[in-house]
Structure 1
Amino acid sequence: MSEFLPEWLDLREPADLRARSSEVTNAVSARFALRDHVRVLDLGSGTGANLRATAPLLPKRQTWKLVDREADLHGAAKSRLIVWADSAECLGDDVRLHKDGREIDVIFTVADLASETKYLVDELLDLVTASAFFDLASEDYIRVLAKAVSDRRTAFYATLTYNGQRRWTPHRPADNQMASAFHRHQLRDKGLGNAAGPLASAHLADQFRLNGYAVIEGDSNWRLERSERMLIEELVRGHAVAASEIGGIDAKTIVDWINVPRTGAVVGHTDTFAIPAS
């Protein structure tokens, strides 16, 4: 499993969409209900799934800047967005989408988020957003981002931040041992400093509150059933790879754990919406 492969992002997209917190999405929609146009920055935009999920919450005219470090992901995003839209116009490297009465201009930007996020945020924006991103970022990255966003008094919306909760069906004695290894592996540097992992959503809330923002949080847990066997199996493989790389669990335990037929899983995530308190 790779967090950045289009195939993995495609596989998880339906579960992500279903899991989003309705309390938080309602708050996002209400925030921009009286606006004619919004300008959105999407960090770590991948295949454009965050745009597809968030655009229905926003006004009729939208301008999105999709930022990722991988140019190939922008190509995947562009093709998927064109298929998703009712109609589309290519504007050089960028695209204008028409979907459900909305006009959405999409700008694709390749950037090193480790060094350029602060400058990207320092633009005329109404919303900074990211999905399944901040558990891969460091506490320092979150702190700097929150300060940059709050300095511009911009709204902030993070979805599907992994929070460490995980339950498998059926349960096995090695589940907690495997989860511990996975979490230790997750704390490694993923390109944005040593990752905050399961503590990321708490750091986001704390940092925005420290910068004078009101914060709304909601659970956005995956609740996977037998029909999502491919996603469950990919999660299992990802845990096994992480446990093998981090060490501390013997190979037989890992192999035995992989070979358990899984019929369900719950994976905990948190959605976060932050706006200036006054």
Structure 2
Amino acid sequence: MPAPSITFGGLPSGARSAIEAETGPILKIENLSTGLNSSLSALAHTTGGVIFLKGLRADHRWVWTQQREADINPYVTPLAPRLLFHVIADGWDVLGFEAVDGHHADYSPGSPDLPKVTDALRKLGSLPCPEIELRQAEQRLAGYVSDPTEAEAFAGNALLHTDWNNHNVLITHDRAHLVDWGWATRGAAWLDPAHLIIWLIAAGHTPSEAEGAVALLPVWKSAPPRAVNAFAHASANLWQEIAGSAPDGWTLTLRDAARVWHQHRELRS
């Protein structure tokens, strides 16, 4: 279930005061539509510039993702906006980031955004995985494979983003910026291209086209075909679980994309 949304003005006064102590006087607030993982999403216009705010109630079951983003930010600023502050006040946990003036990535076939997206994947593949607490890919996916031993192929020491929703990829004139690192994971380096493939299929690519989009990435070239097959199967099961019995439009699209890719991998093998 998505986190319930709130406007900046709807925050308790103590939370607003703590934020303004970091930002300075706020001249204007633009409340944005929130994603699944945040309740507050807003742009704060200040005398010093624009700051992106995202937050959750301090007792929300996903509030740990806020701390995860704060912890990992120093290591991913080559690809991500810089974290300016992290405040916990009056029942709210809020992060303030440098705002990126860009558009959400267009994953459709022929999109001019795609080279920038794959370039970001290439750069991510070269970043060292920090020695901080991160989820393990083999643990996250263990419940979705046919045989628990298959999940061992997902283990590794690469830094993974894992959530390639196109809303988490902001495109500017020169590059792609990756946001929303709350589900950052440690695992096999080829897993992020594999996650992206499902989103590309959902955007209209055939499975062969989607795989072709990441084919030249060094980390993808290292992917064992049987491990990729196991991931495609696990992803189909995962998105079936997310969709449930009454999926909304976007989860239905991702569920079907994951199924199509799994079927494609089965036919190839």
With normalisation by structure 1, the TM-score equals 0.27
Q: Greater relative contact order (Cα 8 A, min sep 6): structure 1 or 2?
A: 1
With normalisation by structure 2, the TM-score equals 0.27
